[in-house]
A and B are shown apart, each in its own frame.
With several copies, the nearest count.
Chain A
Amino acid sequence: MRVKTQRSVSDIHRKDRTIWLAVPINKISNSFADAVADIPSGASIMIGGFGGAGGQPTRLMMALRELGVGDLTIIGNVAGISKTTGYGWPDHLYPIDQGMFFESGQATKIICSFPVPGTTNPLSEIEKAWREGNAQVDIVPQGTLIERIRAAGAGIPAFYTPTGVGTPVAEGKEHREFNGRTYLLEQALTADFALIRAQKADARGNLQYIGTSRAFNPAMATAAKVTIVEVDEIVEIGGIDPERVGTLSTYVNRIVQREAGDPLP
């Protein structure tokens, strides 16, 4: 346990309560391995961030790779292009991306918006797996992808969007006119687990993001059955400005704190 169990400042005004809020304690996992231990083969897994190091739950991904379960469906955005192109990683670091699950043979499918870079030299792990017939790749326009994820968390089973009309992504989808423009019906996209990344969590599970590390993380937190978050720091309740809470504690099931000074971004 990395969180201090002393009474928080929020207890000042309580008179008749003897047990300190039980929920936040239960949400904190002791290790990345513990946090992902119950992910079964065949699971669908959202992986947060945008693509690149910032906002990517890199340690959770590495724990999932270590776990070794297979037949996974990965849901991400820009996916698997950092290793070969350096996309979104500082120059001096060796990039880690979702391609690792295709390299290891754990993933059989990815739903994402940007699975391959412009170049094929060298081939990304995802394109390699796809060419060898080992991976299904569903390419979704980014705005549609994030809106489908958001819809799943927001209780919206389906919505209409103008994006993709007249393109291959429209094939097989309902078309409908509103005010003279044609739209596609798109459906909510949920998952068994969301692995996300935030800067800070408080002990209750409220999350604070920084800069462009938000991206897909806040929506994914709302959309999966189980949301697991990797943070740089866990703070006491009250340690996050109520104006800066980017994900409400209600959405968060598990929190793991990185080692201080972890060299990975």
Chain B
Amino acid sequence: MNVTPAIVGNDPAPRLNRAAIAKRAARDLVDGSTVNLGIGIPALCADFLPNGVELLYHAENGILGFKELSAPGEGDPNLMDAGGKFPKLVPGMAFFDSVESFNLIRGGHIDVTVLGALQVSRNGDLANWMIPKRGIGSIGGAMDLAANAKRVVIAMEHTARGDITKIVNECTFPLTAPGCVDEIITDIAVIKIDRENGRMILRETAPGWSFADVQARTEVTLDTVGEVGLMA
């Protein structure tokens, strides 16, 4: 293990909360897309879709077209999502088995997946299923999604506890899939990955955060293309 702490000072401004990260990730989701949201921050995207955007949510356990969750105590165990929560029955849903569910994923039919990450490397390698020191982890559908979705977006906190950088030159954690990540949305920045050239391009920063502030918390040397925008 070779986790390099970034050189950091105090934060120049508050970081976005989990909901705000999800809201920024949700802004890029295109109406009508078939989307799989991972657990945690990614799942919150559903609460922040722009006006006029409706997505077809897919969950690995065999459901397409679910929307909000049932009220506490009213869930039906036979109508679950992949996070183990119970959505409501709504018109237009479809139920299917795990074979079909992973045909959809492996076959490249998922337009976007939003996932969490432990580490993302400069060429888009993703590690999100096991912390090495624990020695055991859970893959679930993450490897299939990361390797096969048309677009892989990471929504996560920019650093781990102790300001350990998660955006690294090379992942030191076991990979979920190599070269798969298209974009990273964090609590301080939006970073696009130019996989062909192994470059990370800073697109936006959180309010009050400069390029230098983000760079200080990022192991990978960041590029810019044109102006750096403001996350909103």
Contact = CB atoms under 8 A, between A and B. Distances in A.
Q: Do chains A and B touch in the complex (CB under 8 A)?
A: yes
Contact of A143 (B49, B77, B89, B141): B141
B94 A87 contact: no
A146 interface: yes
B218 interface: no
A52 B98 contact: no
B97 interface: yes
B98 A50 contact: yes
Contact of A116 (B64, B95, B137, B143): B137
Contact of A10 (B63, B92, B95): B92
Name the residue among B97, B100, B102, B137 with the largest chain A CB count within 10 angstroms. Answer: B97
Interface in B75-101: 75-82, 84, 86, 88-101
Contacts of B73: 90-92
Contact of B97 (A217, A249, A250): A217
A249 B58 CA distance: 11
A65 interface: no
B60 A214 contact: no
Given A23-B32, A154-B107, A250-B56, A169 B92 contact: no
Given A19-B52, A92-B73, A163-B148, A114 B99 contact: no
Interface residues of B, number: 72
Interface string A230-244: 000000111100110
Nearest to B127: A167
Interface string B171-182: 000111111000
A237 B159 CA distance: 43
Given A18-B52, A154-B107, A242 B139 contact: no
B138 A141 contact: no
Nearest to B39: A118
Interface in A196-243: 199, 202, 204, 206, 209-219, 222, 236-239, 242-243
A21 interface: yes
A156 B106 contact: yes
B31 A23 contact: yes
Interface in B15-72: 31-32, 34, 49, 51-54, 56, 58-65, 67-68, 72
A163 B105 CA distance: 10
Contacts of A26: 32
Contacts of A144: 143-144
A17 B136 contact: no
A251 interface: yes
A211 B141 contact: no
A125 interface: no
B140 interface: yes
Contacts of A202: 92
Given A167-B177, A214-B62, A238-B91, A147 B96 contact: no
A65 B184 CA distance: 46
A15 to B, nearest CB: 10
B143 A169 contact: yes
Interface in B132-189: 134, 136-144, 147-148, 174-179
B98 A142 contact: yes
B104 interface: yes
A78 B80 CA distance: 13
B175 A237 contact: no
B195 interface: no
Interface in A20-38: 21-23, 26
B153 to A, nearest CB: 18
Given A141-B143, A164-B147, A248-B96, A222 B103 contact: yes
Interface of B: 31-32, 34, 49, 51-54, 56, 58-65, 67-68, 72-73, 75-82, 84, 86, 88-109, 125, 134, 136-144, 147-148, 174-179
Given A88-B77, A167-B175, 15 more contacts: A8-B91, A10-B92, A13-B88, A17-B51, A19-B52, A21-B32, A77-B98, A127-B136, A155-B148, A212-B61, A217-B97, A222-B109, A238-B91, A242-B95, A248-B104
Interface of A: 8-10, 13, 16-19, 21-23, 26, 50-55, 77-78, 81-82, 85-92, 113-118, 120, 127, 130, 137, 139-144, 146-147, 150, 152-156, 161-169, 199, 202, 204, 206, 209-219, 222, 236-239, 242-243, 245-246, 248-251, 265
